[in-house]
């Protein structure tokens, strides 16, 4: 019994490692949380109408309000997609920030989104001149 124990552990560990390698290896191809503008553009027309998540940066100068909708452009290094959303942007939404929008690409090439999520990056800075960014200034009562 105890002679068999170590080999059994080794076999178990190798099986798990192989399974883990297989699932990790194919994970990024089959399971993506969001598509980049490049991927979404490249997969047309198959992606048209399908509910997907699109992730990228909000292009500087692209944000405008159109009635009750917010319209802006999501970009990556190579492509851009115009997004129209009826959802109220979270407080941190601004030009240049990372966003993830859920919705579908319409036949006119505009991505219609029902849900807008804002991404925070891994940098944690203090406000440069002692002032918070526009989005936050309203919520702070100090000085």
Partner 1 sequence: MTLGMRVSGGVAVLLWVLGMAAGLTLAPPEEHMSDLVRIMFVHVPVAWAAMATFTVALVASVGWLATHRWGWDHLLDASLEVGVLLGVLLSVQGSVWGYPTWGTWWTWDPRLTSVAVMVLSFLGILALRAFVDEPEKRASWSAAASILAWGSVPFTYFCVKVMNSLHQKQTPWGAMHPDMLKALLLNTATITLLTVWMLMARYQLARTELRRELGT
* In the complex, minimum distance from the CB of residue 50 to partner 1, in angstroms, rounded to a whole number: 17
Q: Exposed e or buried b for every residue in 91-112, given b needs 16+ CB within 10 A?
A: eebeeebebbbbbebeeeeebe
User: Footprint of partner 1 on this chain (CB under 8 A)?
Assistant: 5-6, 9, 12-13, 16, 20, 24, 27-28, 31-36, 55, 89-92, 94, 97, 100, 115-128, 132-133, 135-136, 139-140
* In the complex, minimum distance from the CB of residue 22 to partner 1, in angstroms, rounded to a whole number: 12
* In the complex, minimum distance from the CB of residue 135 to partner 1, in angstroms, rounded to a whole number: 7
Backbone angles phi, psi at 57, to 5 degrees: -100, 145
**Which residue, 64 or 125, is less far from partner 1 as judged by CB?**
125
**Which residue, 48 or 92, is less far from partner 1 as judged by CB?**
92
**Which residue, 6 or 46, is less far from partner 1 as judged by CB?**
6
DSSP symbol at 132: -
Alpha helices in 31-104 (DSSP H): 37-42
**Which residue, 60 or 92, is less far from partner 1 as judged by CB?**
92
Q: How many CA atoms lie within 13 A of 77 on its CB side?
A: 0
CA dihedral 115, 33, 46, 37 (to 10 degrees): 80
């Amino acid at each position: 019994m105890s002679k068999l124990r170590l080999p059994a552990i080794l076999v178990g560990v190798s099986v798990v490692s192989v399974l883990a390698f297989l699932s990790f290896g194919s994970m990024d191809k089959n399971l993506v949380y969001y598509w980049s503008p490049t991927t979404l553009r490249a997969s047309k027309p198959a992606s048209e109408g399908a509910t997907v998540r699109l992730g990228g940066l909000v292009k500087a100068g692209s944000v405008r309000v159109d009635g009750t909708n917010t319209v802006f452009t999501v970009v990556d290094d190579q492509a851009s997609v115009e997004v129209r959303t009826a959802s109220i942007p979270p407080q941190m939404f601004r030009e240049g920030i990372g966003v993830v929008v859920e919705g579908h690409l319409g036949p006119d090439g505009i991505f219609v989104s029902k849900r807008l999520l804002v991404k925070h990056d891994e940098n944690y800075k203090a406000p440069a001149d002692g002032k918070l960014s526009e989005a936050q200034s309203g919520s702070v009562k100090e000085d």
